[in-house]
Amino acid sequence: MTGASSGRDAAAPSARGARAFAPQDPAFLADPASFTPKRPPHPGDWLERFPETGTTFEEYVRSEPVSRTAQRGTLVLQPLGPFRADERRLLETLREFTAAFFDCPVIVAPDLPLPPKGRRARQEGGHRWTQHHTQVILHDVLAPRLPVNAVAYLGITMGDLYPEAGWNFVFGEATLDERVGVYSLVRYFPDFTGEKDTAAARSLGLMRSFKVLSHETGHMFGLQHCARFECLMGGSNSLEETDRSPAALCPVCLKKLAWNLHLDVRERYRRLLAVYQREGLTDLARWTEARLQKIGPER
């Protein structure tokens, strides 16, 4: 997963919400039953190629990350290109999930077409498809249309993406100075590879979609790659590595986001739990339920 950042926007403290941040909340403790320290990377994994060290909570606070303001408090999902009826239902599920994950209003904007500029044809075996250049989408399509009320503007597409000529593909890319990102979901589902379309494959595709959208939106709020725990914000260099990664934030990354957005951590977990249970993501639902029991009621 990619998330290029080249700037930070500091929010006025008064715009961050009325909820007081509690740094000693047990939700931010490194419970070994819930969180695994970062394992040594496999060959080809992100940390093997890019040996990052991550940032501490204090470093995150000093970085003055992008946050909500009174005028700019909404996440906007922008559909790009065609979506089938089932894919449009996926967009609504992603909207609900993103609103719960970031405790933030999320809207789905009217569709936009994928731009003709930057397209290239690809072929592998008997499979032919079109790819779209992320930089064209970010700078020519999204940045000029950034809604005035959007803290971040996130393009979602079922088209395949590439960031530059030498790359085969990329799942997503974001730029903080313009507060825009674009993410492709097409490689997460069996239609792209010609595999059998089963309920299990659809569930896996949904989990992957949750991961990429929350990971990349986390970058929009200034979260860098996590190197301390097995964490949603860990870097990923392949779909296999994405599948191995957790779908939840570690306690340090959760603390950063809670400080930034003044999250109600328990209500956030409850809203996420409802989504996971409804979508049949049983393991993730059980983990979230266990976290709620472990951290107890708000103090």
Tell whether the model's pLDDT for residue 16 goes beyond 90. no
Residues annotated catalytic, as ranges:
216
Q: What is the mean pLDDT of the chain?
A: 90
Q: Does residue 248 lie within any of the structural domains?
A: yes
What pLDDT score was predicted for residue 18? 52
pTM: 0.88
pLDDT grade for 1, boundaries at 50, 70 and 90? very low
Q: Does residue 218 lie within any of the structural domains?
A: yes
Q: Does residue 281 lie within any of the structural domains?
A: yes
Mean pLDDT throughout 278-289?
A: 96
Counted domains in the chain: 1
HEC secondary structure over the chain: CCCECCCCCCCCHHHCCCCCCCCCCHHHCCCCCCCCECCCCCCCCHHHHCCCCCCCHHHHHHCCCCCCCCCCCEEEEEEECCCCHHHHHHHHHHHHHHHHHCCCCEEECCCECCCCCCCEEEEECCEEEEEEEHHHHHHHHHHHHCCCCEEEEEEEECCEEECCCCCCCECEEEECCCCEEEEECHHHCHHHHCCCCCHHHHHHHHHHHHHHHHHHHHHHCCCCCCCCECCCCCCCCCHHHHHHCCCCCCHHHHHHHHHHHCCCHHHHHHHHHHHHHHCCCHHHHHHHHHHHHHHCCCC
Q: Does residue 14 lie within any of the structural domains?
A: no
pLDDT grade for 63, boundaries at 50, 70 and 90? very high
What CATH number has the domain bearing residue 193? 3.40.390.10
Domain that holds residue 32: 22-295
Work out the percent of the chain whose per-residue pLDDT is above 70.
93
Q: Does residue 254 lie within any of the structural domains?
A: yes
Q: Does residue 193 lie within any of the structural domains?
A: yes
pLDDT digits (tens, 9 = 90+) for 84-115: 999 999 999 999 999 999 999 999 999 999 99
Q: Does residue 246 lie within any of the structural domains?
A: yes
Q: Does residue 12 lie within any of the structural domains?
A: no
